[in-house]
Amino acid sequence: MSDHATPGMTITCSEIVEVVTDYLEGEVDEAVRVEVEAHLALCPGCDAYLAQMRATLQVLGHVPVESLSEVARDDLLAAFHTFRPPAAGSP
């Protein structure tokens, strides 16, 4: 019974994993934030889950991205040159 009043125990692990994005986005109420942090301090499983989520984001920051083809890029620079000739005095 007293468990329900213990900080970190009013939220369950299954709720933590669903609120984690809002938490990382800073989109939770102050009361929820405090409760989440109390839970994380008590629960190695959820603490690991959050660390895994952060690690996932770190990997995402390094995945290769697709860019414009060289041909398309060259065409665009040529079009820019045509439509926006360098201002007088520029090299």
DSSP structural state of residue 4? G
Per CB under 8 A, 90 contacts another protein: yes
- The span from the CA of 76 to the CA of 68, in Å, is 10
The token pair that represents 20 in the structure block: 């984690």
Question: End-to-end alpha-carbon separation of the chain, Å?
Answer: 78
Per CB under 8 A, 4 contacts another protein: no
Size of the site for another protein (CB under 8 A): 49
- The span from the CA of 43 to the CA of 30, in Å, is 20
Per CB under 8 A, 55 contacts another protein: yes
Return the residue of 1, 5, 31, 87 that touches another protein, per CB under 8 A: 87
Chain residues 18-47 in contact with another protein, contact rule CB under 8 A: 18, 20-22, 25, 27, 43-46
Cβ-based nearer residue to another protein, 31 or 63: 63
Which residue type sits at 15? E
